[in-house]
A and B are shown apart, each in its own frame.
Chain A
Amino acid sequence: MNRRVFLSGISATALLPQFTAAQEVQGNSHPFEFLRDISTGENFRFDEERYNLVIVMTAQESYSDCGGAFIGVHQIMTELNARDTIHPIMIMPRVADQSYGQSDLRNIARAQRSEYPITILSGDLTDIQAAIATLNGAFLEIDPQGKVSGHTQDAYFLTPSGNQLLSHRADDYFTFVPLIDRIIGRCYGGLNPSCW
């Protein structure tokens, strides 16, 4: 590496957005506030101190590699030691709105058994779609009967108040971890200049 490449790398990294939770939160609104936490029954309230790591899942296993998303969340939380910094969230259409009905609920079980508590948010399909619309690139697949049969396989990293910072394939934590680390500055892999 020559001096020019080294210095350009330093400057590029320095220009990356360096959000802190306290600096970013404005107002009390969050795009998910119309969804309900199925464990509490209440509308979602965001934690001002924690970023959001969001996956979009159906309760049913729509794809054979759905489990990879949960692995990705687990690895991100573990490798960044982010229990106090990141809030894992799963947006999930109602079971009544999914194509498999009640016959397959394994993704709920996976979220409940996560070592890092994953908040499951659900609600009317219109509210779900409105929430997902705030996530660039997120989508639900709807079958001819109007039931949800699939979903985006990306995960979304948001500010505490729900502004999207980045997204990536949920199970590709090898790539995702350093991207998130640049933001939260946990110095994984020594990528953050503030850690040098």
Chain B
Amino acid sequence: MAETHSTSKTFFHAAHFMMYATMFTMIAQNLASMAVTGVPIGLLDPVGMLANMHIPSVEGIAALGEAGGALMDAAANGTWVTDSFFIDPHAAIGHAGHGAAAVATEPVLTDSAREILGM
């Protein structure tokens, strides 16, 4: 049987190549920074720089999470979204696409209404 090229062997070589390349890049950047600015940057600093360029800020991610959390709180606490209704979990079935709204607990009552209601 002819010998076939093993996928796992290819992966093994590729992984090691990437590892070495990354290490060389990090060290080279450190040396370059030292040469240009006289200040050695940390080996992982370039990684952080790349992350900041391509990954949303922590504040941005936190804001998304907060908005999602607010929606979850609204559903759990009985706040009906666009219509300011309270909602309990089983009534929420089939209701989708509603946003958060403030819970209204104080009615607007005229003097006449208060008289009728004995207030």
Give the top 8 A-B pairs by smallest Cβ distance, nearest first.
Answer: A96-B118, A67-B86, A108-B107, A41-B112, A38-B113, A109-B107, A68-B91, A95-B117
- Considering only residues 67-125 of chain A, those with a C-beta below 8 Å from chain B are 67-68, 70-72, 74, 94-97, 102, 105-106, 108-110, 112-115, 122-123
**Cross-chain contact of B113 among A41, A66, A114, A123 (Cβ < 8 A):** A41
Once A67-B80, A68-B90 are accepted as A-B contacts, the answer to whether A106 and B105 lie under 8 Å apart by CB is yes
B80 smallest CB distance to A (angstroms)? 7
Once A67-B80, A68-B88, A108-B107 are accepted as A-B contacts, the answer to whether A174 and B116 lie under 8 Å apart by CB is no
Q: Which residues of A contact B113 (CB under 8 A)?
A: 38-39, 41
A74 smallest CB distance to B (angstroms)? 6
Does chain A have a CB within 8 A of B106?
A: yes
- Considering only residues 151-182 of chain A, those with a C-beta below 8 Å from chain B are 171, 174
B82 smallest CB distance to A (angstroms)? 9
A185 smallest CB distance to B (angstroms)? 23
Once A71-B80, A115-B83 are accepted as A-B contacts, the answer to whether A64 and B107 lie under 8 Å apart by CB is no
**Cross-chain contact of B86 among A39, A97, A110 (Cβ < 8 A):** A110
Q: Describe B's contact surface by its main secondary structure.
A: loop
Q: Please state if A38 and B91 are interface contacts (CB–CB under 8 Å).
A: no
Could you list some 13 contacts between A and B, CB below 8 A? A38-B113, A64-B88, A67-B87, A67-B88, A68-B90, A74-B85, A105-B106, A105-B107, A106-B107, A108-B107, A109-B105, A109-B107, A110-B84
Which of A41, A68, A123, A174 has the most B CB atoms < 10 Å from its CB? A68
Does chain A have a CB within 8 A of B55?
A: no
- Considering only residues 71-116 of chain B, those with a C-beta below 8 Å from chain A are 78, 80, 83-88, 90-91, 94-95, 104-110, 112-113, 115-116
Q: Which range holds the interface residue count of chain B?
A: 20 to 34
Q: Please state if A113 and B86 are interface contacts (CB–CB under 8 Å).
A: no
Q: Which residues of B contact A102 (CB under 8 A)?
A: 119
Once A38-B113, A41-B116, A102-B119 are accepted as A-B contacts, the answer to whether A113 and B87 lie under 8 Å apart by CB is no
Q: Please state if A122 and B85 are interface contacts (CB–CB under 8 Å).
A: no
Residue of B nearest to A92 (CB): B117
Q: Please state if B91 and A94 are interface contacts (CB–CB under 8 Å).
A: no
Q: Please state if A112 and B108 are interface contacts (CB–CB under 8 Å).
A: yes
**Cross-chain contact of A113 among B104, B117, B118 (Cβ < 8 A):** B104
Q: Which residues of B contact A122 (CB under 8 A)?
A: 116-117
- Considering only residues 34-90 of chain B, those with a C-beta below 8 Å from chain A are 78, 80, 83-88, 90
